[in-house]
Structure formats: C-alpha cells, structure tokens
Amino acid sequence: MNLRKYLVLLSVMIFGGTGDVLLKRGMQDFGPVDPHHLLHVISALGNPWVLGGIALLICFFAAYLTALSWAVLSYVLPATAM
C-alpha cells in the first residue's frame, strides 16, 4: 500500500474524531434542543464549533468514500476504527 492510501486512512480517523468532538462542544454551548421548534434547531448552525464539526464530518465522509473506492469495507472499517 502506498503513502497516499495511508494518508487517506489517517485523514478518515482524524476528521471523524475531531468532527465529533467539535460538534459535541458546540452543542454543549448551545444547550438543550427541542425538535418542536425547528428555528431553534437551525439557529445552532450559528455556533462556530457546530459549523467546524459539520465541516470536518463532511471531510470525513469524503475521505471515507475515497477509502472505500479502492478497498473493501472489511479492510477500511477496522483500519479507520482508531
């Protein structure tokens, strides 16, 4: 396996974990969410931690799709589970 594939797997691990942490941090700042008030839920997108978490999770998804394009799931899933 070449360096590029290792970098993709590493980026999947970093983007996924960091994105989850940023999203959690932003939602802790925002406070409880009531799904019956949709505008209140949408206003959470104004929090920079939430936006950063969403951006990193989008990067995670792109890197994960890239990894799945050249390897099978039974390899990618354990390799990125850290």
Q: pLDDT tens-digit profile of 57-79?
A: 999 999 999 999 998 888 888 88
pLDDT digits (tens, 9 = 90+) for 11-58: 999 999 999 999 999 999 888 888 788 888 888 888 999 999 999 999
pLDDT of residue 16: 93
Angle at 61 between CA 73 and CA 30, to 5 degrees: 135
How many independent structural domains does the chain possess? Answer: 1
- DSSP letters along the chain, please? --HHHHHHHHHHHHHHHHHHHHHHHHHHHH----TT-HHHHHGGGGSHHHHHHHHHHHHHHHHHHHHHHHS-HHHHHHHT--
Q: pTM, whole model, 2 decimals?
A: 0.84
Range of the domain at 44: 3-79
